[in-house]
Structure formats: C-alpha cells, structure tokens
C-alpha cells in the first residue's frame, strides 16, 4: 500500500476525531513496527504503523463476510440492535463507511457482505452482474407443487411493480422448506414471491452470494475476505 500522512489516515480509520488522534500522537501511542514514535505529519505505509504495539485495523478497500443473526438491522442509525454492534466499534466511524452490500431485513439471517470500496459494492449489486443469491426459506403452509414452475417462468410480477422478475430456481427441501436462487435483488423479494403464490415466509436465511458460502462461520461472527475469495465471488 502507498505511504500516507498519519493524522488524517488514522482519523479516517475510525481511531477518533482529528483532535482525539492528535492526543494519541502526543501521548506516544503511535509508533512504527520498529518501535519508533510517530507523529501526525509523518508518512508511513499501513503495515508499518502500530498503536500501543498493535497492528492497525484493516486498510481501506476491505471486504468482509458477516453471518448476520436475526434481530439485527442493516443500518447505522435505527433503534435496536444494528449489524455494527457485531463489528469492531471503530468500523462504524470509518470514512468511507464500511457499508452492507445490499441488505438483509431484521428477520433474515445469513451471509452479508460489507465493504468500504464503493466501486466494488456497485459491481456486486449491479443488475448486470446477476450474481446468484441463494436463500433457504421455511414457510407457514405446505408448498402446492407449482411454485417452482411459476418462479422459473419469468412471467411473475410482484405487487406494486411494473417489471417482470427474472427466472428463479426453487429446490423443494420438505413440505414447508425450500431453497430459492435469485439473480437480482429487489426489496424483500423472497418474501414477496411467496406471498404472490399464497404463502408466507416464517424464517429466511441467505446461504450464498455468487461463489461465496458462509461455510463454518459462526452466527454473529465476521471475517475478512482475501483476494482469492474476491475472485470466487464473481465465479459463477
């Protein structure tokens, strides 16, 4: 990574306001990897900076995977529990913000990507990307048997909309359980699709986006994604 002036850089990483970060320098909390004290107008590379001997939080351009539990909102300001409560406190103060890539509603769990890279975010959510998103749904009533054909037809239109849905694939897992693969991301799409066929989603979990799956990531936990996983995300 390129070398940067430290005062603004640390403030943008969420370590405090400029005044607070100046205090870190004044009190000798900031040093390089060799232990030499650093100051706000010094220039260093990200990996050469330490605060109280600890490496910095991830550099700008991060991409992380969160296993979102139900009961958490994808917001910085809503009341109640927020996804940022599951991340290091500084992450909600970074500039640019570490933002969710698309959203999962409060009652939906599973794979949520987050990034501070606006270009990457828009590449993932852009309609032309058509990255598959796979959900597991538990329903209030038994499946009728014709839902798969309806969802795959490309002729279904949701209430209040004027464009047809792209074809989606339904895999029946049980009388009231199904796996649904979408290639677009409309508001509450899975729930509204089942309403359109006379059913109701009682529980919804996202298992996969593109080539990425949650794997063994525990609920409520997160991890950074490496370059190989970024490539896998877009491998369909």
Q: What is the pTM of this model?
A: 0.92
CB 136 within 8 A of CB 201: no
Q: Are residues 204 and 136 in the same domain?
A: yes
Backbone phi, then psi, for 170, in 5-degree steps? -110, 130
Alpha-carbon distances of 69 from 91, 154, 212, rounded to whole Å = 18, 31, 18
| Distance separating alpha carbons of residues 40 and 38, to the nearest angstrom | 7
Positions annotated as catalytic residues are 105
Number of domains in the chain: 3
Q: Are residues 139 and 199 in the same domain?
A: yes
Q: Are residues 89 and 137 in the same domain?
A: no
Q: Are residues 194 and 155 in the same domain?
A: yes
CATH of the domain at 112: 3.30.70.580
Q: What is the pLDDT of residues 191-219, one digit of tens each?
A: 999 999 999 999 999 999 999 999 999 99
Q: What is the pLDDT of residues 45-102, one digit of tens each?
A: 999 999 999 999 999 999 999 999 999 999 888 889 999 999 999 998 999 999 999 9
pLDDT attached to residue 1: 56
Q: Which residues of 212-231 are buried (b: 16+ CB within 10 A; e: fewer)?
A: bebeeeeeeebeebeeeebe
Domain ranges, residue 194: 132-209
Residue where a domain stops, chosen among 38, 55, 72: 55
Burial class (CB in 10 A: 0-12, 13-18, 19+), 181: middle
């Amino acid at each position: 990574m390129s070398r940067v002036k430290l005062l603004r850089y640390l403030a943008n990483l969420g370590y405090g306001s400029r005044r607070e970060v100046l205090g870190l320098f004044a009190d000798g909390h900031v040093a390089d990897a060799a232990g030499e004290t650093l100051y706000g107008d010094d220039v260093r590379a990200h990996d050469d900076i330490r605060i109280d001997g600890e490496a910095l939080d991830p550099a700008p351009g991060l991409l992380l995977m969160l296993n979102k539990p139900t009961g958490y909102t994808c917001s910085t300001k809503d009341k109640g529990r927020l996804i940022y409560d599951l991340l290091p406190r500084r992450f909600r103060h970074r500039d640019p913000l570490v933002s969710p890539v698309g959203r999962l509603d409060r009652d939906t769990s599973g794979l949520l990507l987050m990034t501070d890279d606006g270009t990457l975010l828009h590449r993932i959510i852009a309609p032309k990307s058509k990255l598959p998103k796979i959900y597991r749904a538990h329903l209030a009533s038994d499946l009728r048997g014709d839902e798969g054909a309806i969802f795959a037809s490309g002729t279904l239109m949701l209430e209040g909309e004027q464009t047809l849905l792209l074809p989606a694939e339904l895999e029946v897992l049980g009388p009231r359980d199904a796996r649904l693969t979408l290639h677009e991301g409309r508001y509450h799409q899975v729930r509204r699709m089942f309403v359109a066929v006379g059913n109701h989603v009682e529980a919804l979990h996202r298992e996969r986006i593109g080539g990425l799956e949650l794997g063994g990531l525990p609920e409520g936990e997160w991890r950074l994604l490496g370059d190989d996983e970024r490539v896998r995300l877009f491998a369909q």
